């Protein structure tokens, strides 16, 4: 029992230190802060039409977009960049270090995403009244669930044989499509065909914030799928850069 506790403590300490290093690296990325935090706030004040509507009915899509942005263009794109730069091949080519790295990466980006969500709430909520601890807690719970869902998609994208430039083009296209089309789809969610809603993860995520999907029914399976996906990615992920002949 003592040995098991020692191993658990050692694992937790390693994850903490790796997550802290990655978190400091993410904080220094000012461009990420601009596009993930500042841009949605500016867009919200541009497109919001009435402060009389419920806050989450208007802000739900923006929280879903922020979680998708962090999962896709932060978490997933970062993994591809580490692989294509040769970092993965040189330093974390074994399965156990890879699992530590992926777990710490998910934790650090999850914390950053919660910071972005909190900043968005602090900036946009006063337009609709006073702050509410209950509402804020509900938003963070929905946001975490949304982040898990988009992270699963991000892990799939990161496992594809994409070069860094190709991945950048793909993510730029996804970002453009989300900004142009997904908000309109989410704003008219009632008139969307069920199949279209199912194929649009932003609309599905927005329904969490609207209360149309039960949080307790969505979070447990997503959490288990995330753990499974992390393990499978650590075990079978591509180590060699796409451009490498070896």
DSSP letters for 53-94:
S-HHHHHHHHHHHHHHHIIIIIIIHHHHHHHHTTHHHHH--S
Read off the tokens for 228. Answer: 């499974």
pLDDT: is 122 or 243 the higher one? 122
d(CA 48, CA 68): 20
Residue 18 neighbours by CB under 8 Å, 6+ apart: 100, 101, 104
Q: Is the pLDDT assigned to residue 120 strictly greater than 90?
A: yes
Residue 165, number of CB atoms within 10 A of its CB = 10
The whole-number pLDDT of residue 16 equals 76
Instruction: Report, as an integer, the average pLDDT of 105-109.
Output: 86
Q: What is the rounded CA–CA span in Å between residue 155 and residue 175?
A: 17
Global pTM reads 0.82
Q: How many CB atoms lie within 10 A of CB 181?
A: 12
182 token code pair: 């997904």
| Whether 182 contacts 57, CB under 8 Å | no
Residue 186 pLDDT level (bands cut at 50, 70, 90): very low
Most confidently predicted of 20-24, 26-30, 132-136, 229-233: 132-136
**CA 162, CA 144: separation in Å to the nearest integer?**
27
């Amino acid at each position: 029992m003592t040995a098991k506790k020692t191993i658990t403590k050692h694992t937790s300490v390693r994850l903490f230190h790796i997550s802290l290093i990655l978190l400091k690296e993410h904080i220094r990325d000012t461009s990420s802060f601009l596009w993930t935090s500042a841009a949605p706030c500016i867009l919200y004040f541009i497109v919001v039409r009435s402060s009389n509507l419920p806050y989450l009915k208007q802000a739900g899509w923006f929280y879903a977009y922020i979680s998708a942005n962090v999962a896709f263009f932060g978490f997933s794109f970062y993994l591809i960049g580490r692989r294509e730069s040769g970092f993965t091949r040189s330093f974390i080519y074994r399965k156990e270090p890879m699992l530590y790295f992926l777990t710490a990466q998910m934790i650090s980006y999850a914390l950053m995403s919660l910071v972005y969500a909190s900043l968005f709430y602090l900036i946009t909520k006063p337009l609709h009244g006073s702050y509410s601890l209950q509402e804020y807690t509900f938003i963070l719970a929905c946001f975490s669930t949304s982040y898990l869902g988009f992270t699963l998609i991000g892990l799939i994208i990161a496992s594809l044989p994409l070069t860094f430039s190709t991945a950048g083009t793909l993510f730029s296209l996804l970002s453009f499509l989300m900004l142009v089309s997904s908000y309109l789809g989410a704003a008219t969610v009632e008139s969307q065909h069920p199949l279209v809603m199912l194929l649009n993860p932003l609309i599905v995520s927005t329904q969490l914030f609207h209360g149309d999907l039960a949080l307790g029914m969505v979070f447990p399976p997503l959490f288990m799928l995330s753990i499974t996906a992390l393990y499978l990615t650590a075990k079978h992920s591509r180590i060699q850069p796409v451009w490498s002949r070896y």
